[in-house]
Amino acid sequence: MSGSSDLIALAERVLKTARRKGFTLVTAESCTAGQLAKILSEAPGAAEHLHGGFVTYTKDQKTKALGVSAGLLRAKGAVCRDVAIAMAQGALVRSPAQYAVAITGVAGPDPDEDNNPVGLVCAAVASETGETLHFERRYGNIGREAVCAHAMRDALAELIDAMERVKPRVSA
Amino acid sequence: MSGSSDLIALAERVLKTARRKGFTLVTAESCTAGQLAKILSEAPGAAEHLHGGFVTYTKDQKTKALGVSAGLLRAKGAVCRDVAIAMAQGALVRSPAQYAVAITGVAGPDPDEDNNPVGLVCAAVASETGETLHFERRYGNIGREAVCAHAMRDALAELIDAMERVKPRVSA
């Protein structure tokens, strides 16, 4: 019920990769508001490889729950590369997980309080080894659900890429 | 896409009540895994009255992200009144919100690692004034989605009750 069939298939690939490599996961979400954690939780292996997530809908929650700098949020707004990376890193240190994936964006229908356009999304992946990846996408004003679906799809693909690049944590 | 029509209507009532009373909200979820935050985020007024939430799927995440005592989790398992209250109180101090609602339960299809039966759910509401409410329900083995839907419905009703009982924070 939480996602389209391709998103569900992608979530299953994420959990399969995590299991094969011996990693556990945590999420940090703004515009997707818990949907990413929910979709991952429905994939086989979630009980062993998904620790949970953080839904930080407001700037204050990003600061209080994830330690994102209030100054950074004031200076650059909530939707930028640096905030996505800070969310992922903040989630990682507040979880036993080895990988964190973070999404912050403007789902619409209106631009955000900093006048970022609908469809702008920044995402990041952080690992306990210190590696961080990030991307910025402009999906356009295609509707809330479509913005969130695109953002989750691209973020999960990035997470798989990151996990695939490293050696397994446990022998298979 | 995240909930049935009665759940969506209930989430809208929660946000209306929060707005009328001048309160902001945060969630703490285990078995529902982000779905409660997502449903609340889709109700009008969420941008102003929902700060976010915590998805604590594993015991370790409950301890690391919400400060739930590892000893309590070992002694009583993850699904009990004391853990639900600790999750709500832990969310409250890690958020600017005045009210926290927490759900922990066994959605199934299998009993949890502590042999709690499918359908057992504990929920709690905590407020910054120190008030806590909680309930325990046994919905039976009715399927994952139905257990989660019942749990969210009952927890949101409890949250509305708690907010209705107190004086408004701001004048209307």
Q: Do B34 and A51 touch (CB under 8 A)?
A: no
What integer pLDDT is reported at residue A4 of this predicted model?
Answer: 87
B68-98 core/surface letters (b: 16 or more CB in 10 A; e: else): beeebbeeebbbbbbbbbbbbbbbbebbbbb
* Whether the Cβ atoms of residue B156 and residue B101 lie closer than 8 Å to each other: yes
Q: Which residues of A touch B37 (CB under 8 A)?
A: 33-34, 55, 57
What integer pLDDT is reported at residue A1 of this predicted model?
Answer: 44
What integer pLDDT is reported at residue A118 of this predicted model?
Answer: 97
Query: Which residues make Cβ contacts (< 8 Å) with residue A131, sequence separation at least 6?
Result: A125, A162, A166
Query: How many percent of chain B have pLDDT more than 90?
Result: 91
Q: How far is A134 from chain B (nearest CA, A)?
A: 22
For residue B55 the two structure tokens come to 């998805």
Q: Do B58 and A64 touch (CB under 8 A)?
A: no
Q: Which residues of A touch B57 (CB under 8 A)?
A: 37, 41, 46-47, 50-52
CATH number of the domain at B147, please. 3.90.950.20
Query: Model-level pTM?
Result: 0.95
Closest CA to B138 of B105, B102, B161: B105
A42 within a domain of the structure (yes/no)? yes
What integer pLDDT is reported at residue B169 of this predicted model?
Answer: 64
> What's the average model confidence in pLDDT over B65-70?
98
Closest CA to A54 of B31, B62, B46, B55: B55
B103 within a domain of the structure (yes/no)? yes
Q: Do B96 and A58 touch (CB under 8 A)?
A: yes
* Whether the Cβ atoms of residue A91 and residue A55 lie closer than 8 Å to each other: no
Closest CA to A34 of B124, B80, B52, B120: B52
| ipTM for the assembly | 0.94
Question: pLDDT digit string (tens) for A118-170?
Answer: 999 999 999 999 999 999 999 999 999 999 999 999 999 999 999 999 876 65
Q: What is the SS3 string spanning A11-77? A: HHHHHHHHHHHCCCEEEEECCCCCHHHHHHHCCCCHHHHEEEEEEECCHHHHHHHHCCCHHHHHHHC
A69 within a domain of the structure (yes/no)? yes
A167 within a domain of the structure (yes/no)? no
What integer pLDDT is reported at residue B167 of this predicted model?
Answer: 72
Q: Do A36 and B33 touch (CB under 8 A)?
A: no
What integer pLDDT is reported at residue B1 of this predicted model?
Answer: 44
What integer pLDDT is reported at residue A3 of this predicted model?
Answer: 67
Q: Domain limits at B55? A: 5-164
Sheet holding B132-138, edge to edge: A132-138, A120-127, A99-105, A25-29, A50-56, B50-56, B25-29, B99-105, B120-127, B132-138
> What's the average model confidence in pLDDT over A17-37?
98
A169 within a domain of the structure (yes/no)? no
For residue B115 the two structure tokens come to 């042999």
Say yes or no to pLDDT of B89 above 90.
Answer: yes
A2-6, A29-33, A96-100, B94-98, range with the lowest pLDDT: A2-6
A39 within a domain of the structure (yes/no)? yes
Which band of pLDDT confidence, cut at 50, 70 and 90, is reported for residue B172? Answer: very low
Q: Which residues of A touch B61 (CB under 8 A)?
A: 26, 51-52, 95-96
Say yes or no to pLDDT of A2 above 60.
Answer: no
Closest CA to B84 of B35, B41, B46, B31: B31
What integer pLDDT is reported at residue B170 of this predicted model?
Answer: 59
B170 within a domain of the structure (yes/no)? no
Residue/partner pairs of A157-160 with CB below 8 Å, 24 or more apart: A157/A10, A158/A101, A158/A123, A158/A125, A158/A133, A159/A14, A159/A25, A159/A99, A159/A101, A159/A125, A160/A10, A160/A13, A160/A14, A160/A17
B171 within a domain of the structure (yes/no)? no
Q: What are phi and psi of A97, to 5 degrees?
A: -70, 155
A82-91, B10-19, B160-169, range with the lowest pLDDT: B160-169
The structural domain count of chain A equals 1
Q: Do A55 and B37 touch (CB under 8 A)?
A: yes
Question: pLDDT digit string (tens) for A40-90?
Answer: 999 999 999 999 999 999 999 999 999 999 999 999 999 999 999 999 999
Q: Which residues of A touch B29 (CB under 8 A)?
A: 34
